[in-house]
Each structure stands twice: as structure tokens, then as C-alpha cells.
Amino acid sequence: MKHGFVFPGQGSQFPGMGKQHYENSAFLKKLFEQANEILGFRISYIMFHGTEEDLKQTRVTQPAVFLHSIIAYKSIDLSENSGSKPDMVAGHSLGEFSALVINGTLSFEDGLRLVSIRAQAMQKACEVKPSTMAAVLALADERVEQICDEVQKETGEIVVPANYNCPGQLVISGTVKGVEIACERMKAAGAKRAMILPVGGAFHSPLMEPAKKELRTAIEATGFHTPLCPVYQNVVARAVMDKDEIKQNLIDQLTGAVRWTQSVQAMIADGATQFTEVGPGKVLQGLIGKIDRTVQTNGVN
């Protein structure tokens, strides 16, 4: 019986996030202030008092979700009944950085700096070419992959599977035209829904290549440590302990797919019977429940 800790990504943010931790703990307040100093702006103020629109800015969203996740984990350490430590960790997209801080691969400071660089690089990449993402529901993964491949070959537009969230829910990513054509074909193929998402660009697609180059430079200049427990990384969906491999997988994640379904299945195959989602929201608990109903899930936010 093993305990997996999982960390959410972009989209889980909400106004007021983290305020209670700031007000209730001098130690956690110091972490917020440290983050403000590292980032060069008061992200804590935006988290506590900003609107949904303020929090949707990628340069704000990613560090805010990362910071909230780390703070929430530290709050477990501060509580009297802190519970068990993770036997394994994973994060959904951005959440992989939170996971790598918790398992000791990255320091909090380096994790936050990398997340900030990643967010700004992704924002710039989004502005290069109009792009988007869409959620496809109730269509087999293999069929979604096939349609994406056909659209790319026939039109020259980019459209790829981006997030394997759970069985029956796969997000695709690419140029606006490519995603629109693919959505129509997926509806015709029997998808329950194929809906364009309100996002600023094509995350986890080849259109993130400029951001990948920028992130690679930052990651290669950052000290990574041997992890305390395995991380199940998005692009390979299996346990990784080698710090150099972790680095490469983290770089590849920007243009590669988030294989969340496969990652959770691998964690369960390796003995996970309980999952704790640490950070804002309950999205991952819902996805894990759809991947395997037999495991226990809970959350700390």
C-alpha cells in the first residue's frame, strides 16, 4: 500500500487562493513574501485580491498555482497530524514542478524561478501564431489520435493530442484552423462533445517549441538533486529517479503530451492505493476517480 501525492496545473486557480494560509501561519507568510521577492511583484496580492481575469494571465496563473501547492503541502507538515509522506509524486503539466520540489529534486526557490520563466516563455509562444485547445469527450483515444494525424497530413495544420486526462476525456492542441477541423471530424466520428477551450494558446504541442528552447536554457543552468521518491513524469508516464532524465522529460513536456491517465495507471500498478491532491481545486481527484474507482482520494488546499 503506497501513498501518491499529486499536484494540479493551470486552470485550478481561484480568487482568494492561499489567503487563509497567509493569515494563519507566520512560517507560511514568510514563504509568500519570499515568492514576492523572487518574482519581483506581489503575487500574493493578486492571489488574495485579484479577479478571475487577473489570475488567468499565464505569467500569474502558473506561479500562483505552484506557490499555492507548495504552501498547502507545507501546511500538512505544520499540522499536528501530518499524515504520511509521499511514496511517489506526480503533477499535471505545471504541477510536475510542484511535485519535483516536494520530492527534493528542486529547491522551492529554483522551482518558482523555473515556473516563472516557463510561464513567460509560453505566453510569448502563444502570441506568435493563433492557436488553441479543445476537449474531446467520449471518443476512444486511438480514434482521436488517428483524426489528429489525418488532419495534419491533409491540411498541413498542426493538431495533436495534448492531455490524456482520463478515459473518455482527451484534450487536443494546435492551430485554430487545425483544431476546428479536427473537432468537426471528431463529432462526426461519434464524440459526445468536441469543444474549443478558453485558453490563450496551444500548450503541449509543437507550437510551444520557442518556449521549450528558452526553458531548456534555464533548466540546464539549474541544480537538480537526486529525488527522495519517484516522480511519474507526464511525457513518459512511469517512475523516474535519475535527475538527468527528469531534466530532459521536464523540457520535453512543453511540446509533448500530458499522459495523465497512463501516469496514474502506472502509479497504481506500482502499488498506490491512496492519492492526495495538494493545491487549489479538486480536478485531479475527479480524474483519478474516473481512471480507477478502487483507489482512495482526498485533497489538501
- Cα gap 237→285, rounded to integer Å: 18
Asked if residue 292 lies in contact with residue 264, where contact means CB atoms within 8 angstroms, the answer is yes
Neighbours of 213 (CB within 10 A): 13
- Cα gap 50→282, rounded to integer Å: 21
DSSP of 249-270, one letter per residue?
HHHHTTTS-B-HHHHHHHHHHT
- Give Rg (Cα) of the chain: 19
What are the cell numbers at 263? 501516469
Residue carrying the nine cell digits 487536443: 172
95 by Cβ neighbours in 10 Å (0-12 / 13-18 / 19+) ranks as buried
Find all residues with CB under 8 Å of 81, minimum gap 6, and list them: none
Q: Is 12 a catalytic residue?
A: no
* Given 12, 92, 204, 205, the catalytic residue: 204
Q: Give, as one character, the DSSP assignment of residue 294.
A: T
Find all residues with CB under 8 Å of 214, minimum gap 6, and list them: 117, 121, 124
What are the cell numbers at 159? 493538431
* Given 44, 69, 75, 93, the catalytic residue: 93
Q: Amino acid identity of 126?
A: C
Q: Is 3 a catalytic residue?
A: no
Q: Which residues are catalytic?
A: 93, 204
